[in-house]
Amino acid sequence: MKKLLFIIAIVLLTQTMNAQCFPDRHSTSWYDGWVSCSASQSPNPDRGISHWIMYNFGKPYCLTTSTMWNSNDPAHLDYGMHGYAVDYSLNGVTWRSLGTFSAAQASGSPFYEGAEGPDFEEAIAQFVLITALSNYGGNCFGISEMKINLKAEGNGIDDEPITEIIAYPNPFTDVLKIKFFGNSSALQSFVDIYDLTGRIVFTKTFTLPQSNGEISISNDEMNLVPGIYNLYINNGKDMKVLKVVKI
């Protein structure tokens, strides 16, 4: 009986050594983390062939502060990311850079609590891309987890989608005006212009008018050559696509 109790105690001790001992936090089990030992093409073409992990939240959220747990396997602490880049996107196609950051090496302890990560400053995104830039000397790159907090109230996203948008004059020469009808408020919105080859030629971040308003963009800012373009407008809740002509 004593031998059986001793075996149970060893099993419980082993489980404790491989799991976060603080409630409601993070598992430090090596098998719960992310490891990349082979680079691949990034979803963001600007990142090229790299070591990356992409999170898809299923729908847009207003993102705020974050916590990063680095790779915490005691045998492979050198896998932990040192420098990394963070990009975010509403559609998984058009990416915006949050910046480059550094992470401290993990301790390898089951009591490891991670460290403060990037502040997304209420950016609205459905996708977050983490790209490893350097590590602590290992052959692979890894993190245990990233936890991103959401805006507590309202989530920064209007419950009512954009009801109607027009772009005028169309065709345009010097100034393109975009008029919004109905409730279209959002903390952060984007206009992206693509040529007919699918190449993005202009992007702008702005705050949508609260209702029945408009924004103006000069061609001095866009620098478009005459042609046909697809105009994408995304307010974090839905997307509208308009075809515009520059003459």
Residue 190 · residue 94 · CB < 8 Å: yes
Q: What is the pLDDT of residues 9-22, one digit of tens each?
A: 333 333 333 334 44
Which residue has 């590590």 as its token pair? Answer: 135
Mean predicted confidence (pLDDT) in 184-193: 69
Report the distance separating Cα 222 and Cα 231, nearest Å. Answer: 12
Report the distance separating Cα 76 and Cα 178, nearest Å. Answer: 53
> With bands split at pLDDT 50, 70 and 90, how would you rate the model's confidence at 126?
confident
Provide the percentage of residues in the chain whose pLDDT is more than 70.
Answer: 76
Q: Please name each of the domains of the chain with its CATH number.
A: 28-155 (2.60.120.260), 158-246 (2.60.40.3080)
Q: What is the pLDDT of residues 204-247, one digit of tens each?
A: 887 766 556 788 899 999 999 999 998 888 765 567 788 999 99
Confidence (pLDDT) at 105: 96
Confidence (pLDDT) at 13: 37
Residues 6 or more apart in contact with residue 94 via CB below 8 angstroms: 190, 192, 200, 203, 232
- Closest to 189 (Cα-Cα) out of 164, 210, 212: 210
Confidence (pLDDT) at 137: 96
Q: Which residues of 98-122 are buried (b: 16+ CB within 10 A; e: fewer)?
A: beebebebbeeebebebeebbebee
15 versus 135: the higher-pLDDT residue is 135
Confidence (pLDDT) at 79: 96
CA distances from 142 to 9, 32, 58 (A): 32, 11, 24
Q: What is the pLDDT of residues 24-61, one digit of tens each?
A: 455 656 567 899 999 999 999 999 999 999 999 887 78
What's the predicted TM-score (pTM) here? 0.65
